[in-house]
Amino acid sequence: MNYKVLYRKYRPTNFDQLVGQDNIVKILKNSIIENKIAHAYIFTGPRGTGKTSTAKLFAKALNCPNAKDGIPCEECDNCVNFATSPDIIELDAASNNGVDYIREIKDGVLIAPTSSKYKIYIIDEVHMLTLAAWNAFLKTLEEPPQNVIFILATTEIQKVPITVLSRCQRFDFNRIDRELIQKHIKEICDKEDIRYKEDAVVEISYLSDGCMRDALSILDQLSKVSDEINMEVLKQNYGTVTNDDINKLYYDIIHNDLDELINDINNTKQSGVDIKIYISKIIENFIAKAVDMKKKNLSNNIFNHIKGIIKVLNDLLASISYSTNGYLMLQLDLLSFINSDDNKLSSREIEQVSSNKDIIPDNIYEDINASYYTICDEFINIRINNSFAGASKDLKTEFVKMWTEFAAKVKEENIKELFNITKDSTPVVVSATNAIISTKRESLKTLGNSRLDILENKFNQVYNKAYKFIYITDAEWSNIAKSFDKNKEYQLIDDSKFVNNSGSQGLAEDLFGNSVNVE
């Protein structure tokens, strides 16, 4: 089997290739240059941050007679035969953690190196050793033969006895910076002729959570399922959350849309996004919004509102490891900002934020500005008027039945463009040509009205009935019903001037065709 997975193929072969641990590399190289070598080291930190790789690089440099500035020559016998050298002993404490295992080590250190300056023991997952094994190891670890060096690696330093830590030089490996991971991924993509989109590389760096091995594993897997690494491929294979998703979340909060907020959080949970990554991305996005608010001199109340959200999320992130219900806690914390007297924006402030494209981009509802119709108060009022023209209870009864069947069909066919705008909506006024659709949420009203042409096209295709729709909220319907004048004669009003030919009618025809024939 000649194929090597990317994280193995691009494992660093010298210190200069190691990504993200510059301070540790500097100290280790200087210790070689100045010949100040300790007898025991312990490398600790999250998985995939280079602990074992660094241990091997350090061991190779220590045994290279021609090392220059702490970098092995890669040409001498010790460098060429490093992987098979009997003087480099790699051990795994996860599978060998008892006293007998330590006794073998104690016997082995008494045998001098065969062809190298040092006999070096690299023990991975060292925290897995039993207490009895640690006790048996202490003396050897404290005073090994002069030509023996121990390099211990662990992801759980708290499980290593303090008596062991005091006998080792400790190096703490940090999670690798996302920008460094992105740079490394791009370099590998260029070498491997893997096409990629910038936003997908950024997302991989988030998913890896500072772990280079995870980042390369994700890249490796995605390169096998697609000719190009992009967000669509990522979403199909991994749980991801985009800036558009987070912008939508903020929109829900400032508009006090409780149902939509819960729905968005649950959708992210179901997609498998790690809760810590999700909260971290929300915080980063919201901080960028806060900076924009200051730059644009928005009111202090707007700034303090988002600052309060960031503070709550930051506190949650710090405590999330102690809770198995991270998503429930996130939901609870964000719900505290819905309809709160202490955390409330005025209508004018909401409009200020919503109209600022740097804070809430136009595309949070799938490019609502690309609507086939120009959505405005006059258009909505005309559609409401036309629905009352010739409306009757019989027409409504018949239509409600069709609407229920239609919603089920949309769900069955999994038509994303229509699924959200048909659920939780109710026809309230129906004529022979028009219908008013009522929904609880302002956000769903906005989304529904932005996709009226797609909805009308599909309904026409299914029932061969050319209906025109308009969405309003339940609260608006309540006001209309109260002020309804049953003696008024409603006349149809032409609404063709509101057609925007650069809108989404093409998308509707692409999705469903322009035929109205019923099969």
The residue that leads in pLDDT, 74 or 468, is 468
Percentage, residues of the chain above pLDDT 90: 34
The predicted structure's pLDDT at residue 516: 41
Structural domains in the chain?
Answer: 6-172 (3.40.50.300), 178-237 (1.10.8.60), 243-365 (1.20.272.10), 368-512 (3.30.300.180)
pLDDT at 432 over 90: yes
Output the average pLDDT for the chain.
85
Flag whether pLDDT at 405 surpasses 50.
Answer: yes
Kindly state the average pLDDT of the residues 140-144.
Answer: 86
Average the pLDDT over 28-44 and give the result.
Answer: 92
**pLDDT score, position 417:** 65
Give the Cα-Cα-Cα angle 66, 68, 72 (nearest 5 degrees).
60
What six digits make up the tokens of 130? 């039993």
What whole-number distance in Å separates Cα of residue 98 and Cα of residue 353?
A: 62
372 pLDDT higher than 80: no
Q: What are phi and psi of 115, to 5 degrees?
A: -140, 10
Q: Please give the radius of gyration of the chain, using alpha carbons only, rounded to the nearest integer.
A: 32
Over 80: is that where the pLDDT of 366 sits? no
Q: State the pLDDT at residue 324.
A: 66
Q: How confident is the model at residue 395 (pLDDT cuts 50, 70, 90)?
A: very high
Beta strand residue intervals within 29-182, DSSP E: 40-44, 88-92, 119-124, 148-154, 169-172
Average pLDDT over residues 432-457: 87
pLDDT tens digits, one per residue of 233-288: 887 777 778 888 888 899 888 888 888 888 889 888 887 888 888 898 899 899 99
446-484 tens-digit pLDDT = 878 888 888 998 899 999 999 999 999 998 999 999 888
pTM: 0.59
- Give pLDDT tens digits for 167-203: 899 999 988 988 999 999 999 999 999 999 888 898 8
Higher-scoring residue by pLDDT: 241, 128: 128
Name every residue whose Cβ is closer than 8 Å to that of residue 470 and which is 6 or more positions away in sequence.
Answer: 380, 383, 384, 387, 434, 435, 436, 437, 449, 452
pLDDT for residue 344: 76
